[in-house]
Structure 1
Amino acid sequence: MNQIEDITTTDPRRIRILDGAMKVFLAYGFSRTTMDDIARAADMSRPALYLLFKNKNDIFRAIAMMLLSRSVEAAKVALAGDGAFMERMTRAIDEALISMMRGVVSSPHGAELLDMKSSLADLVVCWRDGLGGHIAAAIEKEARRNGADLAAKGLSARLLADMLLDGLEGMKARISDADDQRKAAAALVKVIDLALQA
């Protein structure tokens, strides 16, 4: 397990802070949000806030880690669920990526928050590794079930998982509508499914 999958936030004060901070970041953007705004949203004093987080960057990282952890867990559950491979993979992509980002994307400050991705590069690498691992495991299992020899095709489960994630990343840059993203993601999954046939 990587650090993204291991994250568990059980302290009710931390949860209250992260939930409140997420609301004010979405409402005002990162740069306009102050520690006072976050303390008010969490219904606590500013000194109490500083006992748990050193600054708003620390809070932003904690929110990102929480969301990325939820994303990996959502994909893991969807991939292990019932249904055909294409249905499970499409559901995993929707729950772990498309639906999860709806609140950020629909915010007037979503672009600013998404632009901060570079400050979270280490977390994003861990997230992608964890997500890619679950996708690769599902691909490998489906290839075995179908009797498909990926190596004979010059492929591997991890290569296909990385191609899928790369395609989804490019899709997000090109397509903003969630329904259109779902259609494009389904097409990507169909290509992977075709590669998994014997």
Structure 2
Amino acid sequence: MIEIEDIATDPKRVRILDGAMKVFLAYGYARTTMDDIARAADMSRPALYLQFKNKTDIYRAIALMLLSRSLEQAKTALAGEGPFAERMMRAIDEALISMMRAVHASPHGAELLDMKSSLADLVGCWRGRLVEHIAKAVQSEAGRNGVDLAAKGLSARLLADMLLDGLEGMKTRISDPDEQRQAAAALIKVIDLALKAG
């Protein structure tokens, strides 16, 4: 089983992944070579091969690094101070919308996103962990407000899944990050209303 949040923080690997991300964004996946990545990481190509077997291995490691950071940011935002809707919006913005800013801004962003099917196992794990964090925050808020979700025909897990499903659908229709934030805020408001007593 892949543990998204348990990514190694070896400085050499992080340097390689950060350099590779810049190269992929600048040239696209297809045109990037292992030499390009080695240069970006300020190391020899043989040294690079000691860390990663090929470009696909590096691409998956970048995805794992970004998804791990995303989960950590969401977890921190949800545990932070302030009203539920503000904490949830921070979590969604930092974990989803802002995370993809550099990819969408790149002329090769579409190519990089088209390859996401090769990351289905990582994305599935990441989504499951994100749902857990959101559901925990929803359950905590319901408890704080004295709301019995089951009596309303709801559950924390159902609301967390609904939020992420809605956000996924929104991304296919809306590409502008500011409009995505507005749509996300509306979805979060609906969930916040479900968590109010009465």
TM-score range, shorter chain: over 0.9
- Secondary structure at the aligned position of 2:148 is classed as coil
* CA deviation map 1:43-73 (0-9, x unaligned): 1111110011000000000000000000000
The CA deviation at 1:77 is 0.2
Aligned to 1:46: 45
Aligned to 1:6: 6
Q: State the TM-score, normalizing by the size of structure 1.
A: 0.97
Q: How far apart in 2 are the matches of 1:40 and 1:5?
A: 28
Q: How far apart in 1 are the matches of 2:129 and 2:90?
A: 17
Aligned to 2:79: 80
Q: How far apart in 1 are the matches of 2:50 and 2:186?
A: 48
Aligned to 1:171: 170
* CA deviation map 1:50-106 (0-9, x unaligned): 011000000000000000000000000000000000000001000111111100110
Runs of 5+ in structure 1 lacking a partner? none
Aligned to 1:117: 116
On the 8 A contact 1:2/1:130 being kept in 2, the answer is no
Corresponding pairs, count = 197
Aligned to 2:195: 196
Q: How far apart in 2 are the matches of 1:16 and 1:143?
A: 42
Closer, same or farther in 2 for the Cα pair 1:23/1:76, shift >3 Å? Answer: same
Aligned to 1:65: 64
Runs of 5+ in structure 2 lacking a partner? none
* CA deviation map 1:144-182 (0-9, x unaligned): 111111111111000100000000111111101111000
Q: How far apart in 2 are the matches of 1:21 and 1:103?
A: 13
Q: How far apart in 2 are the matches of 1:48 and 1:86?
A: 47
- Output the aligned Cα RMSD: 1.1
Moved over 2 A (4+): none
Q: State the TM-score, normalizing by the size of structure 2.
A: 0.97
Aligned to 1:150: 149
Q: How far apart in 2 are the matches of 1:130 and 1:117?
A: 18
Q: How far apart in 2 are the matches of 1:28 and 1:2?
A: 29
On the 8 A contact 2:2/2:122 being kept in 1, the answer is no
